[in-house]
Amino acid sequence: MGVEPEQMRPPLTPEHWRLVALDIDGTVMSWGGDVSESVREAITQVRMCRNHVVLATGRNIPAMLPVAERLGIRRGYAVCSNGAVTIKLNPGLPQGYEIVEKATFQPGAALEIVRDELPDVHYAVEDSGVSFRVSEKFPMDELIGDQRVSTFEELSSGEATRVVIRAPGRDVRHFDSLIRRIGLSDVTYAVGYTAWLDLTPPGVSKATALEAVRRRLGVYPDHTVAFGDGNNDIDMLTWAANSTAMGDAPDVVKAAADAVTGTVTEDGLVDPLRSLVDPERLAMQ
């Protein structure tokens, strides 16, 4: 991968830039949609101390942008759609961003497999990290962006950056057993807390997108930090040189991280973020 030998890398000090990857839901933001002032302040301080803060989320672009705005992040990179779409924020552009990386796949085969097993589920096929073709309208608090009701044939055709499969009333363990039983070798998948399954292009995850961002920014691999709480954060937590799982994360997510902090409702993100702040540099701002 072209990584420099260990002895040639500088140590993790305030003199070198870090890449700090932050999951949103359940990490930065509570499941009720709140971001505490303490978390906002800590993120601002981290950004002021030679750190590239990169939001890395399963959300699409329209759902991510308001969070970035609330955090005061108007420039830099953001990873959306579980790694399928990477954008560069730029307030000088009409939309406020440009897409710099996009991975797509043909969803038809995966949709047919899931339909045969779960004929009553709902589908949303994401186009370019922005809008959706859906089997029926999803609640607006679950999908942000235009939704166009489509036939199964329309859902299965063309390219997609992500597919969301929702099974109201089913336990998340049902999806776990389904994946183990049928396999989905031509996609990457992540099971949510509820009966929610995200499918992304093969080999694509938050980690793959963040690695591309790291290379763009020229950050040393040893200087990567990540925070997350969900199954879709496991690869990201493993990728980072220093990773922290939230206190209410599933055990498998905690096992992938180097450390565990408090829950999102306890502002568990604050203390580990503050450890990345250099007081002397902050005082100079």
Give tens-digit pLDDT for 231-243. Answer: 899 999 999 999 9
The whole-angstrom separation of Cα 52 and Cα 76 is: 7
Give 48-59 pLDDT, tens digit per residue: 988 999 999 999
CB atoms within 10 A of CB 95: 12
pLDDT (0 to 100) of residue 82: 94
Q: Are 207 and 221 in contact (CB under 8 A)?
A: no
- In this predicted structure, the answer to whether residue 181 has a pLDDT above a threshold of 70 is no
The Cα 59–Cα 142 span in angstroms is: 10
Amino acid letter, 95: Q
Q: Does residue 136 contact residue 162 with C-beta atoms inside 8 Å? A: no
Is the pLDDT assigned to residue 188 strictly greater than 70?
A: no
Q: Could you give the percent of the chain with pLDDT greater than 90? A: 62
Please state, in angstroms and rounded to a whole number, the distance separating the CA atoms of residues 51 and 45.
9
Residue 172 has what pLDDT?
A: 61
What is the average per-residue pLDDT within 22-26? 96
Average pLDDT over residues 183-211: 77
**Helix runs in 103-217, H state only:** 108-117, 152-156, 172-182, 206-217
Averaged pLDDT, 129-144: 87
Residue 182 has pLDDT above 80, yes or no: no
Structure tokens at 134: 């859906």
Is the pLDDT at 253 greater than 70? The verdict is yes
- Arithmetic mean of pLDDT, 85-109: 94
CATH 3.40.50.1000, the chain: domain bounds: 6-103+204-283
Mean pLDDT of the chain: 87
- H-helix segments, the chain: 37-47, 61-70, 108-117, 152-156, 172-182, 206-217, 234-239, 251-256, 270-274, 279-283
pLDDT confidence of residue 189: 57
Per-residue pLDDT band for 174 (boundaries 50, 70, 90) equals: low
**Fold of the domain spanning 6-103+204-283:** Rossmann fold (3.40.50)
> CATH top-level class for 108-200?
alpha beta
Q: Minimum mean pLDDT among 14-28, 222-236, 239-253: which range?
A: 14-28
Higher pLDDT, 101 or 13: 101
- Give the pLDDT score at 4: 45
Put the strands of the sheet holding 162-166 in their side by side order: 147-149, 131-134, 122-127, 162-166, 196-200, 188-191
Rounded Cα distance, 269 and 261, in Å: 7
pLDDT of 186 over the 70 cut: no
Q: What's the whole-model pTM score?
A: 0.88
Pull the structure tokens for residue 66. 């308001």
C-alpha–C-alpha distance, residues 27 and 269, integer Å: 7
In this prediction, residue 223 has a pLDDT band, given cuts at 50, 70 and 90, of very high
Instruction: Say what the alpha-carbon torsion angle 163, 136, 30, 233 is, to the nearest 10 degrees.
Output: -10
Span of 30-44, 99-113, 167-181, 244-258 with lowest mean pLDDT: 167-181
Which residue ranges does the chain devote to CATH 3.30.1240.10?
Answer: 108-200
pLDDT of residue 262 exceeding 80, the answer is yes
